[in-house]
Chain A
């Protein structure tokens, strides 16, 4: 991990006073993750460069310091070499005083704006415009270079790391604070567990300049590795401190969620209404995920019992938390049965339900598993009503964030066009003796239909 700062001007060696790092002495420091060395590759009147080199032991990282302590990362890991949160830790530990701007010996210099250039090596960065977006508003001119990922394999494309160079007229303490806060923003992986204490750290180093940064929210969200609650609190406190008049609070979303969150909600509401309309007293939520639909169904008193399952035991645990299963009243609990099960294995526990809901599930199954899925539901479980929702592929053209022909979620194995879905549902009715009614959820756009398609199947008597 490597960072250099170059000062150009007159008597540039003086910067060593600000840094509290005497060039004629050995400058080595131990920090918890490894060793730091500060040295001067250039030292002259006109130009002085200081370098901070952090040496991490990859095996320490992988194993943790003690034998019993499990490391956070794999043995093969870029952490020791890239500019990441460890570098920020090194800056605050080794150059902390410089960062505070205190320097009784050269206070004037510390308070002056100098011609400084910082170079950060191997900074993870895949968004081409991110360095400019982040540093330019702070008054830096930004340059960076990017090499090939592996020169022996040019077909693998470019490296996801850049060597970043920012230069500007700033106080040294400012530059260090900027680097301290902004280096981790490039990298979503953090070497520490994100906790509330991080909010204070952010405010103490970024409180001055971050509140008015045009990309403030982006920076804060990334700083907190997308932990939204911390990011929101941090933004609120930043605004409070800067007493800035903000027209309205905007909580940014990931680009694609803006549309998806309401759609998801609409979909669950629609399914719930269909269940109620069917008059079902017993419902099975097949592939319940985190239990959002189940939660809605529990509020309907006409439904006497709800069984919800997911194929992933891990997801099911999360569903239990989301549903507050452990503290649920006995009455509610008696109506709910949560279990692990699979849609590709026949299961006695699936039998005898008035209604089955299979919401945004089938597209996560391999195409080759669909015949088994069909039989498990329609031949063995045989619910009176089956409600299946799945994305409408025709609608994908309306999503800007989707590349052509790509699917909405990396785990989707396929997405049905309206025609595909129509054919499939017809085939189900023919094979298993059901009738179907097709509806949808979401905005209906000419030529591409609604984003979600729903098939409501009823068993023929």
Chain B
């Protein structure tokens, strides 16, 4: 016997004691899928036969079942379940979890039951109990469907050993379809517009008059094909032909359900446009009517597509309903979140479910006519009221492009005016829900980045108190790991290890960029305030922003920021960037110098303080020791003098090191800004362009026009060519000898994945003198250096990868028009990861 059950369902084993439920369950289900009452009895009281603890055991069993179902895991309840009362608990749980309940009944003759029971030694039950179970079971079988079990299978003794259980996908599970799709809103009999729209979308008719897309796209309909319009049956024919030929997929709408009722001869009110459809369909053949009835009746209420990234439903769907099946979900998908009340027009009051929607899947729905396609919290309403004289709209997926055709006429007066100001757009307000507790952020490079709740709590504070407006915060740069610690004596970092890292991972060519010693910043610049409003929904927020790597405003005063933005715009106008890139905004990764501009107080209070106090006290100690050596011979003071001299010298070098990165800034002209990544612009993220492309385009479009925007010197190194590696090393020695911080080594491609592993997007290799600022003036003293060489990079590197993938993801989400909340999630994630404790000197 072959039993088909949904791969996600709640299965109740039903059978008298000794009927073999446990054995049967163990044969057909995984041990973790089975929740047995015996096991839970033992869990709570150590004795699986102790009936007195059943209440506690079942409480725990049902809690466990609930958790599994929340996680969409098939669950089997192995208990006798012979009484209606016990089964009703299971049915209720299934209803609450929107999952189908399955009953597998083992109908074993009494004789066999009694025989088996008598063979049991430890838990033999009185015969009357066995008989009682059997009687109850016989009475139950016929009622199981009525009780709420969607599937009931009754197995006889002879079936048990040759039963096969097959798990089937849920009907709504179309995750294997990846598109591209054209999702079309409510048609309501507007066949002329539908044909126009399909043609506009590039569909043509095949010899059998069926629309199809020559480029392999698939149409997705949102239901409500008929009523109110003038060519209702034509729409049905068109849609049925497309669906039946595999060129389209459709969910069912509330009007379709009503039509089915009518066609089945049930009594329905011929209102809301149904009267028009009925009039048309009356003159059709019986066969056609039958076909329509069968077609519409077979439609389901929502589909999950493209690996779970896209969901369609006629009136929308709540996040927790996605990918489940139950009566109430079907109702929701058909009618939306209705309260049962009617509004002043006599229409049902619907709550706006999208307000609370925070799912990762994009939901596209119709049902409520709006004047313009309405985007809100990762959902699109694309019913633009064609039949009411609006337009028929389609959403192209994954492009998220809207294609519409205007209605030929107003076929029906809308009962209530179409919501005009319903183009709900992100207005800069975020809901805290999505940013609390543990977070799991899906990214394109790392499947899931986990953020712990402590870190998200930290990020919440920083975001709220210090960050720039979230609408600007489309990207936060990742942290960067140094190269592995060098084996070279007298060096903590040396280029060899940087090249080796990439060579060992199969990267043949790397780009070495001079590391500027300033402060990392991100610049977002729009051509004008209109662009800022259009793309960033940034009203009265100027044309752009410059922020630090922790999302704070870089310049305290808007004045300086705006001068820089204006000057950058001038450059981009002159260089033709705006035209050549066809964009109205750009996001850049830059370094702003001098270091002292942003770090003034740190340098003065900490760095300069150390040098000033140290050089003073050591200098005096030196003089005193020199005199003492003359006075007190042979007391070992020479060694102390040597030590003092060494330390003083180290401090002088240290002061020189930080001094290199400081100069007075009297006006913007004294700043230097070095762009090094063109991160993104309209519709594009440059995360897959090579670093050479970035460097060359920066040279071409950003530098050489205005002296504050400076180039970043770079060279390429072939990691398996010793000559080239030697060049690279020498280049680094030169840079660091002349006071430079060091270099950043990047794989040629911005994003490099080898053997399924994401590689470090960059590693830094810092100069010997520079590192005094980080590790202290005396770090090169050999015993100090030996200790410092034991540093570990693992944490830093993991963080760098996570932050990098969040950064790219965030830009991708932003450029593809995703909601503020979805973009913010990534920036928030980077900030949260930054509160992870990691050695700050790395």
Q: Given the known inter-chain contacts A59-B784, A75-B776, please indicate yes or no for A2 contacting B635, CB distance below 8 A.
A: no
- Closest Cβ–Cβ distance, residue A350 to chain B (whole Å): 9
Kindly state the separation between the CA atoms of A25 and B636 in the bound complex, as whole angstroms. 9
CB <8 Å contact, B604 and A76: no
Residues of B with C-beta under 8 A to A346? 429-432
Residues of B with C-beta under 8 A to A375? 429
CB <8 Å contact, B428 and A39: no
The reply on B599 being an interface residue by CB < 8 A is no
The reply on A17 being an interface residue by CB < 8 A is no
- Closest Cβ–Cβ distance, residue A143 to chain B (whole Å): 15
The reply on A43 being an interface residue by CB < 8 A is yes
Kindly state the separation between the CA atoms of A342 and B779 in the bound complex, as whole angstroms. 43
* 1/0 contact string of A406-421 vs chain B (CB within 8 Å): 0000000000000000
Q: Given the known inter-chain contacts A122-B617, A347-B431, A375-B429, please indicate yes or no for A74 contacting B606, CB distance below 8 A.
A: yes
CB <8 Å contact, A345 and B431: yes
Which of B432, B608, B628 is close to A149, meaning CB atoms less than 8 Å apart? Answer: B608
CB <8 Å contact, B464 and A75: no
- Closest Cβ–Cβ distance, residue A148 to chain B (whole Å): 8
- Closest Cβ–Cβ distance, residue A332 to chain B (whole Å): 25
Residues of B with C-beta under 8 A to A348? 431, 433
CB <8 Å contact, B606 and A364: no
CB <8 Å contact, A24 and B635: yes
Residues of A with C-beta under 8 A to B777? 58, 76
- Closest Cβ–Cβ distance, residue A392 to chain B (whole Å): 23
CB <8 Å contact, B627 and A42: yes
Residues of B with C-beta under 8 A to A365? 464-465
Which of A26, A122, A148, A368 is close to B636, meaning CB atoms less than 8 Å apart? Answer: A26
Kindly state the separation between the CA atoms of A39 and B625 in the bound complex, as whole angstroms. 8
Contacts of A60-84 to chain B: CB distance below 8 A: 62-63, 74-78, 80-83
The reply on A132 being an interface residue by CB < 8 A is no
The reply on B753 being an interface residue by CB < 8 A is no
Which one of A154-162, A176-184, A257-265 contacts B? A154-162
- Closest Cβ–Cβ distance, residue A446 to chain B (whole Å): 34
In the complex, the chain B residue whose C-beta lies closest to that of A310 is B461
Residues of B with C-beta under 8 A to A55? 640, 643
Kindly state the separation between the CA atoms of A245 and B460 in the bound complex, as whole angstroms. 55
The reply on A147 being an interface residue by CB < 8 A is yes
CB <8 Å contact, B624 and A51: yes
CB <8 Å contact, B655 and A40: no
Kindly state the separation between the CA atoms of A364 and B435 in the bound complex, as whole angstroms. 21
CB <8 Å contact, B624 and A4: yes
* 1/0 contact string of B24-48 vs chain A (CB within 8 Å): 0000000000000000000000000
The reply on B787 being an interface residue by CB < 8 A is yes
Residues of B with C-beta under 8 A to A148? 612
The reply on A341 being an interface residue by CB < 8 A is yes
- Closest Cβ–Cβ distance, residue A358 to chain B (whole Å): 14
The reply on A163 being an interface residue by CB < 8 A is yes
In the complex, the chain B residue whose C-beta lies closest to that of A159 is B612
Residues of B with C-beta under 8 A to A311? 460-461, 464-465
CB <8 Å contact, A58 and B457: no
* 1/0 contact string of B652-683 vs chain A (CB within 8 Å): 00010001001010000000000000000000
CB <8 Å contact, A122 and B631: no
Residues of B with C-beta under 8 A to A27? 635
CB <8 Å contact, A345 and B614: no
Residues of A with C-beta under 8 A to B635? 23-27, 39
In the complex, the chain A residue whose C-beta lies closest to that of B356 is A348
CB <8 Å contact, A369 and B469: yes
The reply on A152 being an interface residue by CB < 8 A is yes
| A23, A28, A41, A149 interface centre (most CB from chain B within 10 Å) | A41
In the complex, the chain A residue whose C-beta lies closest to that of B428 is A372
In the complex, the chain B residue whose C-beta lies closest to that of A155 is B664
In the complex, the chain A residue whose C-beta lies closest to that of B640 is A37
Kindly state the separation between the CA atoms of A375 and B659 in the bound complex, as whole angstroms. 47
- Closest Cβ–Cβ distance, residue B489 to chain A (whole Å): 18
Which of B433, B612, B637, B841 is close to A147, meaning CB atoms less than 8 Å apart? Answer: B612
Contacts of B548-584 to chain A: CB distance below 8 A: 553
- Closest Cβ–Cβ distance, residue B817 to chain A (whole Å): 22
Residues of B with C-beta under 8 A to A160? 609
CB <8 Å contact, A37 and B607: no
Residues of A with C-beta under 8 A to B775? 59, 75
Kindly state the separation between the CA atoms of A223 and B829 in the bound complex, as whole angstroms. 43
CB <8 Å contact, B604 and A82: no
CB <8 Å contact, B640 and A82: no
CB <8 Å contact, A40 and B631: yes
- Closest Cβ–Cβ distance, residue B638 to chain A (whole Å): 11
Residues of B with C-beta under 8 A to A156? 604, 608
Kindly state the separation between the CA atoms of A380 and B430 in the bound complex, as whole angstroms. 11
The reply on B458 being an interface residue by CB < 8 A is yes
CB <8 Å contact, A345 and B432: yes
Q: Given the known inter-chain contacts A37-B640, A311-B464, A375-B429, please indicate yes or no for A59 contacting B787, CB distance below 8 A.
A: yes
CB <8 Å contact, A75 and B841: yes
Residues of A with C-beta under 8 A to B431? 345-348
CB <8 Å contact, B609 and A75: no
The reply on A1 being an interface residue by CB < 8 A is yes
In the complex, the chain B residue whose C-beta lies closest to that of A346 is B431
CB <8 Å contact, B628 and A41: yes
- Closest Cβ–Cβ distance, residue B662 to chain A (whole Å): 6
In the complex, the chain B residue whose C-beta lies closest to that of A161 is B613
Which of A39, A42, A76, A369 is close to B776, meaning CB atoms less than 8 Å apart? Answer: A76
CB <8 Å contact, B636 and A364: no
CB <8 Å contact, A59 and B776: yes
Residues of A with C-beta under 8 A to B784? 57, 59
The reply on B616 being an interface residue by CB < 8 A is yes
The reply on A113 being an interface residue by CB < 8 A is no
The reply on A340 being an interface residue by CB < 8 A is yes
Residues of B with C-beta under 8 A to A152? 655, 659
Which of B464, B613, B618, B624 is close to A344, meaning CB atoms less than 8 Å apart? Answer: B464
Residues of A with C-beta under 8 A to B429? 345-346, 372, 375-376, 380
Q: Given the known inter-chain contacts A53-B621, A345-B435, A346-B431, please indicate yes or no for A313 contacting B659, CB distance below 8 A.
A: no
Kindly state the separation between the CA atoms of A366 and B463 in the bound complex, as whole angstroms. 11
The reply on A11 being an interface residue by CB < 8 A is no
The reply on A221 being an interface residue by CB < 8 A is no
The reply on B468 being an interface residue by CB < 8 A is yes
* 1/0 contact string of A27-63 vs chain B (CB within 8 Å): 1100000000101111100000101010101110011
CB <8 Å contact, B776 and A163: no
Residues of A with C-beta under 8 A to B604? 149, 156
- Closest Cβ–Cβ distance, residue B375 to chain A (whole Å): 18
The reply on A121 being an interface residue by CB < 8 A is yes
- Closest Cβ–Cβ distance, residue A260 to chain B (whole Å): 22
Residues of B with C-beta under 8 A to A77? 606, 610, 776
The reply on A150 being an interface residue by CB < 8 A is yes
The reply on A266 being an interface residue by CB < 8 A is no
CB <8 Å contact, A81 and B430: no
- Closest Cβ–Cβ distance, residue B51 to chain A (whole Å): 35
* 1/0 contact string of B774-792 vs chain A (CB within 8 Å): 1111110000100110000
| A59, A76, A161, A366 interface centre (most CB from chain B within 10 Å) | A76
- Closest Cβ–Cβ distance, residue A16 to chain B (whole Å): 11
CB <8 Å contact, A41 and B631: yes
Residues of B with C-beta under 8 A to A364? 465
The reply on A312 being an interface residue by CB < 8 A is yes
CB <8 Å contact, B637 and A345: no
Q: Which residues of A contact B (CB under 8 A)?
A: 1-2, 4, 23-28, 37, 39-43, 49, 51, 53, 55, 57-59, 62-63, 74-78, 80-83, 121-122, 124, 147-150, 152-153, 155-156, 159-161, 163, 311-313, 340-349, 364-366, 368-369, 371-372, 375-376, 380
The 4 A-B pairs with the shortest beta carbon distances in the complex, nearest first, are A81-B614, A345-B432, A122-B613, A342-B464
* Beyond A28-B636, A311-B461, A345-B430, 5 additional pairs, beta carbon < 8 A: A37-B640, A121-B620, A342-B463, A345-B431, A347-B433
Query: Could you show 10 A-B contacts with beta carbons less than 8 Å apart?
Result: A27-B635, A121-B617, A122-B612, A147-B612, A152-B659, A159-B613, A340-B457, A345-B431, A348-B431, A366-B465
